[in-house]
Amino acid sequence: MKKLLYTFALTLTAFLIIYSCSAEEDNTPPPSIIQTPEPETPATTQYTLEVTSGEGGTVSTEGGTYDEGTQITITATPAEGYEFVGWEGSNSNSNSLTVTLNGNTSVQAIFLPETFLENRESIELCKIDRFHGGIGFGFPKYLYSLPSTGNLKFTIIFVDFDDSPATATIDEMKQLIEPISKSFYSSSSYGKLNVQFDAINKWMRMTKNSGEYNMRRDVSSGEFHYNYLSEALNLADLEYDFSNSDLFVVITNPDTENIDYGPAYIGNDYWNFQADGKTFYTSTSSGYDLNIWGGLWLNHEVGHLMGLPDLYNYSGLPTWHGYAGQFSLMGLISGKAPDLFGYEKWMLGWLDDAQIFCAQNGTSIVDIHPIESTDTGTKIVVLPISDNKSLVIESRKSILVDENLTEEGILIYQVDSSIRSGEGCLEVLPSNRRNEGKIDLLLKEGDILSINGYSIEVLLQSDLFDRISIVKE
C-alpha cells in the first residue's frame, strides 16, 4: 500500500512539472505573486504543557503552547471505582493543579483502583501475631513488658563493691547516660514517650565481692540476675520511695571487670520485684561493657523491657550483624543509624496505625515520610507474606538520631514472629549475612527490587518524602 502511494505521488509531481513547463511557453503574463509576510518572531518565549491522564480517570485539558509565565489550572477527575492519588511531574497531591509555565512541562494524573483504599483499611491484616512466649516481633506486645508511651519515671541506682570501689563521680555517670538516653526517647518516639530520670545520688555498696554475683556473660542466668537486681533494689529501698517509680535501673561501677555485661531482666507473676507497694516486672543492670556502648546501652536494654527482641546474631556465624547491619540499636548499639526500625516503633505505639500503609493487592503508590521526620504522614509500608511474616518498607535519612548515616534511601526488610530473638527475626533485604553494613542496600530513585511476589520501585526521592510503587505480581 505504501509503495502505491509513493508511485501516485511521483506521478502527480511529474504531471505538475510538465504542466508548469507548458504554461511558461505561453506568452501570457505571469500571475501576480501574492507574498505572504514572514511571521514575526514572538516577543515572548513560549513553552508547551503536556497533560496526560493515567488509567482510571480524565484531565480537564491536554495542554498546549503558552507564553512563558502563563498559569494553567488542571483538574483531574477519577472514574468510578478509582481514586486520584497524585501527579507524575509534580509534588502536589491535590486534584486541582495550577502550573506556571517556565519551561516545557509535562504532568500526568495518577489514579488507582479502590483496592488502594481497601489496602489502607486492612491494617489488622498487616499485624503479625506474636508467636513465642516472651519478647519478639508481633502483636500484642509481651504481657509483662514495660509500657512504652506516656510519662515514665526511671530510678537509677548506682552500685559498687568492696573489691571494686567506684572511681567516677555520680555526676560523671549521670552525664554518660541521661542526656543521650533521654534525647533518643524524645526524638525516636516523636514525643510519645517522656522519660524522667531520678537518680539516687550516691554509690551504694553491695554486700559481696563483684565476682560472687555470677554476673559474667558466660556463667550468668536469670536467677543470678534476679538476685543481683533484688539486692540493689533492697539497698536503695532503705532510703528511696519507689511508689512513683516505673522502672529501677542498676548502674554497676563500670570499672568492674567481673560483671562484664548488662542484660535485661523480664519477669512474670512469680519472678518480679516489690518495693513501696509497687511491682516491677522488668529491670536491667549495666556491666563493664557500658564503657563500649555509652548511654544508648540503656535504650537497647529498655527496648527489651518494652518487648523488642535482639536483632544481632547470637551465634556470631557467619557474622554478628548480618541481619540488621548498622540499623537500629536493638542490633548494633554503636551503629551509624541507631534509630529503631519503623516496625519496632509501631509495636511500641510510637507510630499510629494511621501512619502504616498495609499494601495487600494490586498496585499501590505511596509517599513515605522519613522514619525520623516528625510529621504524621505514612512512615512504613507493610506487605503481608504470611500470618507470621511481613515485608516492611521505610525511608531512612541522615537526620536526628541517624545523623551519621552516610547514604539515604529506601530500606526493605522482613520481620518474622516465628524466629526468636537473636536468630534473625528481622532481616534487611536482599539477605546477605556477610554484609554487616547494609547501608549500601538503601534503594535510590529508579531502583527496583522484586521480592516475595512484590515489585517495589522508588519513583521519586525528596527531602519531605519518597514516592514508591508496590505491585503485587
Binding site for Zn ion (CB under 5 A): 310
| Least distance CB 309 / Zn ion (angstroms) | 8
| Least distance CB 193 / Zn ion (angstroms) | 19
Residue 350 and residue 192 in contact, taking contact as beta carbons nearer than 8 Å: yes
Between 116 and 154, whose beta carbon lies closer to Zn ion?
Answer: 154
Between 240 and 293, whose beta carbon lies closer to Zn ion?
Answer: 293
Residue 378 and residue 357 in contact, taking contact as beta carbons nearer than 8 Å: yes
| Least distance CB 190 / Zn ion (angstroms) | 23
Would you call 235 helix, strand, or coil by DSSP? helix
| Least distance CB 281 / Zn ion (angstroms) | 17
Amino acid at 179: P
| Least distance CB 421 / Zn ion (angstroms) | 8
Contacts of 3 (CB under 8 A, 6+ apart): none
Compute the half-sphere exposure of residue 264: CA atoms within 13 Å on the CB side of its CA.
26
Order the strands of the 46-53 sheet from edge to edge. 63-67, 46-53, 105-113, 82-88
| Least distance CB 348 / Zn ion (angstroms) | 15
Between 310 and 416, whose beta carbon lies closer to Zn ion?
Answer: 310
Between 76 and 329, whose beta carbon lies closer to Zn ion?
Answer: 329
| Least distance CB 419 / Zn ion (angstroms) | 15
Between 251 and 458, whose beta carbon lies closer to Zn ion?
Answer: 251
Report the phi/psi class of residue 32: left, alpha or beta, with left for phi > 0 and alpha for psi in -120 to 50.
beta
| Least distance CB 307 / Zn ion (angstroms) | 12
Residue 289 and residue 393 in contact, taking contact as beta carbons nearer than 8 Å: no
Closest CA to 226 of 212, 207, 213, 239: 213
Between 45 and 291, whose beta carbon lies closer to Zn ion?
Answer: 291
The backbone torsions φ and ψ at residue 461, rounded to the nearest 5 degrees and listed phi first, read: -120, 135
| Least distance CB 304 / Zn ion (angstroms) | 5
Contacts of 252 (CB under 8 A, 6+ apart): 159, 160, 259, 262, 285, 286, 287, 288, 290
| Least distance CB 266 / Zn ion (angstroms) | 11
Between 226 and 320, whose beta carbon lies closer to Zn ion?
Answer: 320
Matching residue, cell 519472678:
271
Between 310 and 427, whose beta carbon lies closer to Zn ion?
Answer: 310
47 burial level (CB within 10 Å; 0-12, 13-18, 19+): middle
Q: Element (H or E) spanning 105, and its range?
A: strand 105-113
| Least distance CB 300 / Zn ion (angstroms) | 6
Ranked by CB distance to Zn ion, the top (closest) residue is 310
Maximum Cα–Cα distance for the chain, whole Å? 133
Between 310 and 408, whose beta carbon lies closer to Zn ion?
Answer: 310
The backbone torsions φ and ψ at residue 458, rounded to the nearest 5 degrees and listed phi first, read: -90, 110
Residue 358 and residue 120 in contact, taking contact as beta carbons nearer than 8 Å: yes
| Least distance CB 196 / Zn ion (angstroms) | 24
Between 330 and 468, whose beta carbon lies closer to Zn ion?
Answer: 330
- In angstroms, the CA 459 to CA 444 distance is 9
279-to-38, 82, 226, 228 alpha-carbon distances in Å: 93, 54, 14, 17
- In angstroms, the CA 291 to CA 207 distance is 24
- In angstroms, the CA 425 to CA 323 distance is 9
Between 305 and 443, whose beta carbon lies closer to Zn ion?
Answer: 305
Closest CA to 144 of 305, 367, 285: 305
Between 330 and 391, whose beta carbon lies closer to Zn ion?
Answer: 330
